[in-house]
Amino acid sequence: MFEGNIFGKLDQKLQHAVADAGYKTPTPIQEEAIPVLLKGRDLIGCAQTGTGKTAAFMLPILNHLVKVRRPRRTGHPRALVLSPTRELAAQTAENVKKYSKHAGLPFACVFGGVSQYGQVKEIKKGAETLIACPGRLIDLMTQGIIFLDQVECFVLDEADRMLDMGFLPDIKRIISKLPKVRQSLFFSATMSPQIRKLAAELVTDPVEITIAPEAPTVEKINQRVMMVEKNDKDSLLIHLLENHPEWTKVIVFAKMRHGADRVNKKLFRAKIPSAAIHSDKTQNQRTRALEGFRRGDVRVLVATDIASRGIDVPDVSCVINMELPLETESYVHRIGRTARAGESGAAISFVTSSERNQLKADERFIKKTIPVDRDHPYHSSAADRKNGKEGEGLAPAPWVHPANRNRSNRKRNGRKSFLGRRQPDFGQKRD
């Protein structure tokens, strides 16, 4: 199925799942990491989320679980992936579901902020893989629901974010409960001395892999942020689409599949021609949606990140992010669906107060402060203040021209906003 390809080294059940997911050519980190991990080696990986990292570590782990069968013990997972946020944990779990669907490997995902009832139910089904956030994991360990004595493969994902969020004591407590003999994988986007010290405590004779992030090329994309409450995002989207008929091709990105379907239904009710494309759709459904979008029969394509790299449609007027993605590279890939082939384009991100840290990370990555557009009926002053755009947030950086720094603060005095009917000069370069 994948002759001459590192995916061909996996169990046939996993190969079928990889093919179903539409994977054909491995990313650089998959190319380097999978052969190493299939040999059982420990690994230190310096790579951003969005480089194919999840498949790079999960496919070899699932391959091990398929090849080396053991009696299932409720509450005793064989593989543990530790994630810093529930969003990343849920995203990793979605991938595990996708990769293991033919292998019959049960898994569970545990994180705080919600009832533990459903999570415990999945654990009691005999989950062999556990994706967890530190706080909820320790809660369930304290309750005697989860035990780590049978863990054979351990992944510490996004270690730098773990330390930034103050999880170091929890991480050390969790590591102390793991078996001494295990395969350990350590991933971080940066490698500070503190990160290296933690890695040294976790891995044994590791292979080190560093994948440099792709450089952003966003000069011709006119980017804007709209501060909005979470419950107003759908209404803001419909408002923009109804007031901008000149946007004939729009891609709307949602973080999760159910979110994409929800947005698609809202657009249908508003009589805006749209289609959704994500991993739950069959290949035929995806093909029909893309063809309709290219022809112009579908005005709005609602997609998850599965489509951010694969959509190559000319003349996309605007990209709208319903939520910011978890990784900076995905942000660049998303907005890069517009301004193709030397053309210009626009990108709008709906941002709540809880997404402020991710916004700052995106701004640092692209070396550009993204202006806030307040000229819409759903502007959230609370989110704006919390994000620091009116005060303490990301300081105006050297790459922002002084004349433009306060542009987003101007009051609406009969001017045309960024979203006015007259299209802005997207090609104008800023100093």
Task: Identify the CATH number of the domain in which residue 67 sits.
Answer: 3.40.50.300
Q: Are 185 and 42 in contact (CB under 8 A)?
A: yes
Residue 165: the pLDDT is 80
Q: Are 330 and 303 in contact (CB under 8 A)?
A: no
Do 136 and 270 belong together in one domain? no
Do 305 and 164 belong together in one domain? no
Q: What whole-number distance in Å separates Cα of residue 105 and Cα of residue 100?
A: 6
Residue 308: the pLDDT is 55
Give how many domains the chain has, as a whole number: 2
Residue 130: the pLDDT is 98
Do 259 and 325 belong together in one domain? yes
**What pLDDT tens digit does each residue of the chain (431 aa) get?**
787 789 999 999 999 999 998 888 899 999 999 999 999 999 999 986 667 899 999 999 999 999 999 999 999 999 999 998 877 888 899 899 999 999 999 999 999 878 999 999 999 999 999 999 999 999 999 999 999 999 999 999 989 888 878 899 999 999 999 999 999 999 988 788 889 999 999 999 999 999 876 554 577 788 999 999 999 999 999 999 999 999 999 999 998 888 999 999 999 999 999 999 887 777 678 778 888 998 999 999 999 876 555 566 778 889 999 999 887 778 887 888 886 655 668 999 999 998 888 898 888 888 889 999 999 999 998 888 865 444 333 333 333 333 433 433 333 333 344 444 344 333 333 33
Q: Are 112 and 138 in contact (CB under 8 A)?
A: no
Do 191 and 305 belong together in one domain? no
**213 Cβ partners below 8 Å, 6+ apart?**
48, 51, 189, 328, 329, 365
In a domain, 365, yes or no: yes
C-beta atoms surrounding 114 within 10 Å:
11
In a domain, 348, yes or no: yes
Angle (nearest 5°) at CA 182 between 181 and 188: 135
Q: What whole-number distance in Å separates Cα of residue 167 and Cα of residue 369?
A: 29
* Domain C-terminal end among 180, 210, 240: 210
Joined tokens for residue 355: 């997404």
Residue appearing with tokens 């293991």:
100
Please tell me what DSSP assigns to residue 397. Answer: P
Terminal CA-CA length for the chain:
50
In a domain, 83, yes or no: yes
In a domain, 194, yes or no: yes
Do 176 and 137 belong together in one domain? yes
In a domain, 426, yes or no: no
Q: What whole-number distance in Å separates Cα of residue 19 and Cα of residue 343?
A: 33
In a domain, 423, yes or no: no
In a domain, 97, yes or no: yes
Do 285 and 386 belong together in one domain? yes
Q: What whole-number distance in Å separates Cα of residue 184 and Cα of residue 180?
A: 10
Do 13 and 91 belong together in one domain? yes
* Domain C-terminal end among 191, 210, 229: 210
Do 122 and 14 belong together in one domain? yes
Query: CA–CA distance from 278 to each of 255, 329, 333 (Å)?
Result: 10, 19, 16
Do 335 and 363 belong together in one domain? yes
In a domain, 215, yes or no: no
Q: Are 276 and 260 in contact (CB under 8 A)?
A: yes
Do 90 and 190 belong together in one domain? yes
pTM, two decimal places:
0.60
Do 187 and 289 belong together in one domain? no
Do 363 and 226 belong together in one domain? yes
Residue 430: the pLDDT is 32
Residue 426: the pLDDT is 35
Domain of 20, in residue numbers: 6-210
Sheet holding 79-82, edge to edge: 107-110, 129-132, 79-82, 153-156, 183-188, 43-46, 207-210
How far, rounded to the nearest angstrom, does the alpha carbon of residue 160 sit from its chain's CA centroid? 16
Q: What whole-number distance in Å separates Cα of residue 45 and Cα of residue 114?
A: 31
Residue 343: the pLDDT is 63
* Domain C-terminal end among 149, 178, 210: 210
Q: What whole-number distance in Å separates Cα of residue 327 and Cα of residue 354?
A: 15
Residue 407: the pLDDT is 38
Q: What whole-number distance in Å separates Cα of residue 262 and Cα of residue 304?
A: 12
